[in-house]
Amino acid sequence: MAQLSESVTLDREGDVAVITIDNPPVNALSWHVRQGLADGFAQAVEGGASAIVLICAGRTFIAGADISEFGQKPQGPSLHDTQLAMENAPVPVIAAIHGTALGGGLEVALCAHYRVALDSSKFGLPEVNLGLLPGAGGTQRLPRLVGVPKALDMMTSGRHIGAAEALGDGLIDEMVEGDHDALRNAALAFAARAVANNMPLAKVRDRDEKVAEARGNEQLFADFRATIARKTRGFLAPEYNVRCVEAAANLPFDEGLQVEAELFRELVTGSQSAAQRYYFFAERAANKIPDVPKDTPLVDIQRVGVLGAGTMGGGIAMNFANIGIPVTIVERDLESLDRGLGVVRKNYERSRSTTAEQVEQRMSLLTGSTDKADFADCDLVIEAVFEDMELKKSVFAELDQICKPGAIMASNTSFLDIDEIASATSRPESVIGMHFFSPANVMKLLEVIRGEQTSASVIATAMALGKQIKKVAVLSRVCPGFIGNRILAQRRFEADRLILEGATPEQVDRVLYDFGLPMGPFAMMDLAGLDIGWKAETSKGSTVRDILCESGRRGQKNGRGYYTYDPETRAATPDPEVVAMIREFAISKGYEQREVTDQEVLERCLYPMINEGAKILDEGVAIRGSDVDVVWVNGYGWPVYRGGPMFWADSVGLPEVVAKIREYGERLDGDHWELSPLMEKLATEGGQLHQFSN
Ligand code: 3H9
């Protein structure tokens, strides 16, 4: 066996050369892998191999280019040259695939003459999620194998397809059952057959039938663009991917490659991809807790309990049923329990990705009860009852009596003090916050809140469970509102004041929507319900919300809130009556009316959020700046192409942000304009919030 570079070896199995990549964790195409591949193909051919098998060691086939190399000085041979050496090899080249063949990894496999894969393997071109397009020929080769509609779908969604689907699409030539050895043997057998039968050295670039079907068909591309327009609003990469596939359909292969290269260059040097690549690593960093080592023993979670079968409780329970963990759901009375379970069933039935059989299988994992004593055999109990400290404390005191030793007791509170809740129990080390976002079965974010005494094992288990249920978990310490809602509160305060000064709800919402957020604060309040936490008996008419609620405006649910809603389509229309009510109220409170610019709206909504994020870091509530970004991207729809609020502030420039906060702070009151000392320090020293770590 020859070691070609630190991560690539060349082996011989009879006449067949076997090139093996071993570059943990995911066999990314780092420079030494490219070097090894270039040498490996050259040496295999020189050595007279009858065929060449390319295989990977470890958990996966190549999962893509090495993202950490983007933006660095190029080193080693280009991927393009390596691919040419493969495609033009004078003997059959067979890619043997297990795990995930993604991005540059799939693009390498597409340069082999044949592809053999384990039945568990997955395939995708997920570059779009990094603000990129496949820049190693994938945009031209994939449509030639799977056809234009499928390639458009895969490249603009980044989704992975399974081996059976890949076989059906012609993306792979053979599917193998079994383990890595079975794969290797199957690939060697394929190679022997290819040699014995003189099979052609099939080059994907020469295939024309499937792309020809879409040639000149502008309508197909226009229709596709329309289907993704809403979901991809603000993003550059999806459109650039479509243009490349259009080029694949309409241009000769080499010209298509040129289009791909030009558009790739534009994306990889642009700000969106820089933000999205940063975000990729930010999400993975969030999992690392400095004082909770990787090998911390986890609590074995065999059964979960959920207290409350309302929207939140039902949604939380679905997450566990989805991965096969049985759940005990406890409600106060049978009627509420049945209603809650009915909603869960409906949610499953409505989901297009759940078959009828899966609906039954998942529902069978949910056991309803009206007796908390049934939590006795649960390893984790999550309460989702009303947000009231006394209620939570009495619930936890009860759980303390019921739960078995070592069971985790979690609160889904969105802002209450976990330490105070834990004080109602005899085992604060087992108490933790697991804050799901609504709808809990859909939203990706899970804020995990550690109390003063929460044990490392409980923290590690909550974080690991988050990953298991396909959420992105971020750890926070205790403070009112934790990371996400504490930042949100600052924006809301300022948005409320802006409409008193003369901005309209529609203007504030539009500015934030145009920035890339899914909706502005007023549309959000209408969606949640204006009367959440509002009581007619105690309303003092002292806020705009009070007067709206008093006049019967409750938000989307009754068709009238800050906006008026079409009963059929739920489309929002700005309401002059509301604008007049706000104006009259503001004047009565002594606010001078003026025209507020869009720029001021943006700065006054976002800069207090940045300031609060910095305070959260300064207090050690969040571990790192990137964690704040992960919370805001996953929990509140901050546009990932702007990285997150901390990354965005750094891209605006901290000195500029600091100067503006000072300027606004001079004329506006409120703690949220009191400059964070950390931000001030970083701005002076040339530091960055998104790189800050406690
Ligand atoms: C591309 O290919 C461009 C080309 O078109 C052409 C260029 C010319 N690079 O996610 P995990 C690390 S763009 C570097 O926790 P999982 C990751 O940071 C690329 N590092 O594991 C983490 O490190 P750590 C297209 C990478 O099992 C560790 O691996 N490809 C890369 O949940 C484990 O990752 C993609 O976008 C990488 N490409 O999921 C695929 N990938 O342990 C991106 C991972 O220090 N990767 N790491 O925190 C993934 O989707 C998932 O990582 C994967 C494994 C599904 C592979």
Per residue in 470-511, pLDDT (tens digit) is 999 999 999 999 999 999 999 999 999 999 999 999 999 999
Q: Which of 6, 46, 107, 603 is catalytic?
A: 107
Q: What is the CATH number of the domain that holds 567?
A: 1.10.1040.10
Q: Quick check: 8 pLDDT over 90?
A: yes
Burial class (CB within 10 angstroms; exposed 0-12, middle 13-18, buried 19+) of 384: buried
What integer is the mean pLDDT of 560-570? 94
Residue position matching structure tokens 């995990």: 448
Whether 279 is in a domain gets the answer no
Residue position matching structure tokens 């470890």: 58
514 in the same domain as 436: no
475 in the same domain as 513: no
Nearest CA, atom 55, ligand 1: 100
Residues with C-beta less than 6 Å from any ligand 1 atom: 25-26, 28, 63-68, 79, 100, 102-104, 107, 126-127, 130, 132, 134-136, 138, 281, 284
Q: What are phi and psi of 574, to 5 degrees?
A: -60, 140
β-strand pairing of 93-97 with 114-118: parallel
Nearest CA, atom 39, ligand 1: 26
468 in the same domain as 323: yes
- Residue 100: domain span: 2-267
Binned at pLDDT 50, 70 and 90, residue 351 comes out as confident
How many other C-beta atoms lie within 10 A of the C-beta of residue 589? 11
455's tokens = 């044990």
Q: Which of 573, 588, 603 is the last residue of a domain?
A: 588
Whether 81 is in a domain gets the answer yes
Contacts of residue 657, defined as CB under 8 A and 6 or more positions apart, other chains included, come to: 607, 610, 649, 679, 683
β-strand pairing of 445-450 with 572-574: unpaired
52 in the same domain as 139: yes
Binned at pLDDT 50, 70 and 90, residue 603 comes out as very high
Q: Which of 532, 559, 588 is the last residue of a domain?
A: 588
195 in the same domain as 54: yes
Domain count, the chain: 3
470 in the same domain as 515: no
What is the helix (H) or strand (E) element at residue 413, kind and residue range?
Answer: none
pLDDT of residue 545: 93
437 in the same domain as 308: yes
User: Residues 350, 379: contact at Cβ < 8 Å?
Assistant: no
Nearest CA, atom 9, ligand 1: 66
Burial class (CB within 10 angstroms; exposed 0-12, middle 13-18, buried 19+) of 293: exposed
Whether 378 is in a domain gets the answer yes
Binned at pLDDT 50, 70 and 90, residue 537 comes out as confident
Mean pLDDT of the chain: 96
Q: How far is Cα 203 from Cα 206, in angstroms, rounded to an integer?
A: 6
Q: Which of 214, 238, 267 is the last residue of a domain?
A: 267
C-alpha 505 to ligand 1 mean position (Å): 41
Q: What is the CATH number of the domain that holds 181?
A: 3.90.226.10
Q: Quick check: 541 pLDDT over 90?
A: no
Quote the percentage of the chain above a pLDDT of 70: 100
510 in the same domain as 434: no
C-alpha 271 to ligand 1 mean position (Å): 20
Binned at pLDDT 50, 70 and 90, residue 22 comes out as very high
Whether 328 is in a domain gets the answer yes
Per residue in 119-129, pLDDT (tens digit) is 999 999 999 99
Q: Which of 23, 26, 70, 280 to mutate to test the pocket of ligand 1 (most atoms within 8 A of CB)?
A: 26
Nearest CA, atom 24, ligand 1: 284
Q: How far is Cα 300 from Cα 496, in angstroms, rounded to an integer?
A: 46
- Of 373-377, 464-468, 534-538, the poorest mean pLDDT is in 534-538
User: Residues 19, 53: contact at Cβ < 8 Å?
Assistant: yes
430 in the same domain as 566: no
pLDDT of residue 513: 97
Q: How far is Cα 458 from Cα 93, in angstroms, rounded to an integer?
A: 49
Binned at pLDDT 50, 70 and 90, residue 245 comes out as very high
Per DSSP, what are the bridge partners of residue 450?
A: 432, 477
Per residue in 142-162, pLDDT (tens digit) is 999 999 999 999 999 999 999
Smallest Cα–Cα separation from 656: which of 580, 618, 603? Answer: 603
- Of 82-86, 98-102, 377-381, 430-434, the poorest mean pLDDT is in 82-86
Per residue in 352-371, pLDDT (tens digit) is 888 999 999 999 999 999 99
C-alpha 542 to ligand 1 mean position (Å): 52
Contacts of residue 202, defined as CB under 8 A and 6 or more positions apart, other chains included, come to: 113, 114
Whether 404 is in a domain gets the answer yes
Q: How far is Cα 444 from Cα 467, in angstroms, rounded to an integer?
A: 10
What integer is the mean pLDDT of 649-672? 96
Q: pTM of the predicted model, to two decimals?
A: 0.94
Nearest CA, atom 54, ligand 1: 26
Per residue in 452-471, pLDDT (tens digit) is 999 999 999 999 999 999 99
C-alpha 106 to ligand 1 mean position (Å): 13
Q: How far is Cα 680 from Cα 519, in angstroms, rounded to an integer?
A: 30
Whether 365 is in a domain gets the answer yes
Q: Which of 87, 127, 246, 260 is catalytic?
A: 127
Whether 613 is in a domain gets the answer no
Binned at pLDDT 50, 70 and 90, residue 535 comes out as confident
pLDDT of residue 72: 86
Q: How far is Cα 260 from Cα 237, in angstroms, rounded to an integer?
A: 12
259 in the same domain as 308: no
Q: What is the CATH number of the domain that holds 458?
A: 3.40.50.720
User: Residues 372, 307: contact at Cβ < 8 Å?
Assistant: yes
234 in the same domain as 180: yes
Give the number of the atom of ligand 1 that is nearest the alpha carbon of residue 288.
Answer: 48
Give the number of the atom of ligand 1 that is nearest the alpha carbon of residue 281.
Answer: 18
pLDDT of residue 616: 98
323 in the same domain as 447: yes
Give percent helix, percent strand, percent coil of the chain, each to the nearest 5: 50, 15, 35
C-alpha 64 to ligand 1 mean position (Å): 7
Per residue in 305-344, pLDDT (tens digit) is 999 999 999 999 999 999 999 999 999 999 999 999 999 9
β-strand pairing of 2-5 with 8-13: antiparallel
pLDDT of residue 665: 96
Quote the percentage of the chain above a pLDDT of 90: 95
Whether 163 is in a domain gets the answer yes
Residue position matching structure tokens 């009316």: 593
pLDDT of residue 197: 97
Has 107 been annotated as catalytic? yes
What integer is the mean pLDDT of 183-201? 97
pLDDT of residue 524: 93
Give the number of the atom of ligand 1 that is nearest the alpha carbon of residue 60.
Answer: 56
pLDDT of residue 690: 98
Has 506 been annotated as catalytic? no
What integer is the mean pLDDT of 581-605? 97
Alpha helices in 286-438 (DSSP H): 311-322, 334-350, 356-363, 389-402, 418-422
pLDDT of residue 226: 98
Question: What number is the ipTM of this complex?
Answer: 0.98
Binned at pLDDT 50, 70 and 90, residue 660 comes out as very high
Per residue in 210-228, pLDDT (tens digit) is 999 999 999 999 999 999 9
